[in-house]
Chains A and B, each alone.
Chain A
């Protein structure tokens, strides 16, 4: 069955491949990225806490692990990682070519 857990796992693998193998921006090997991701996770927990507590978004637990941080599905943390790492890799590549970052 195609679940949220499965799709998120695939997206995380794709994100890692983009950074380390495809664009070779290697952000994952930097302290800069991990400090950023720690701060992002705090902001994310606030925003997503509101979205899942209201709830604005209702999750169908037939398609996730059912593990929650408060009201937030565990998959959401990895979902955010998979969205943002490729964004930063592409940005790093685009700006590095320009020689300005």
Chain B
């Protein structure tokens, strides 16, 4: 089961987005294309950065990953840059909802 540790972290991060992206209280439910576009460029920059410094600035422990690699990055690491931004957009709008900014 050890190899699913990073997968579990990705699920923890991604589930709020997957479960609540269609919540009618949040503008996200009609802005999902914009959310995907907003995620794409920063994610690409950070993935390239990650590829360039992996095994130098940091490395991944084979015990805790599935072992599927994309350009020397674990699949989970690539998904990190997809789901952290998407869930962050959800969280940002959720905070806006509770602050009463329902523009």
Q: Which residues in A have some Cβ–Cβ distance to B below 8 Å?
A: 3-4, 7, 11, 31-33, 35-36, 39-40, 43, 46-47, 50-51, 54-60, 63-64, 80, 83-84, 86-88, 90-91, 94-95, 98, 100-101
Instruction: Classify chain B's interface size.
Output: 35 or more
Which B residues lie at the A interface, using CB under 8 A?
5-6, 9, 12-13, 27, 30-31, 34-35, 37-39, 41-42, 46, 49, 53, 56-61, 64-65, 81, 84-85, 88-89, 91-92, 95-96, 99, 101, 103
Establish whether residues A91 and B99, one from each chain, have CB atoms under 8 Å apart when the complex forms: no
**B46: chain A residues within 8 A (beta carbon):** 83
Chain B contact residues, majority secondary structure:
helix
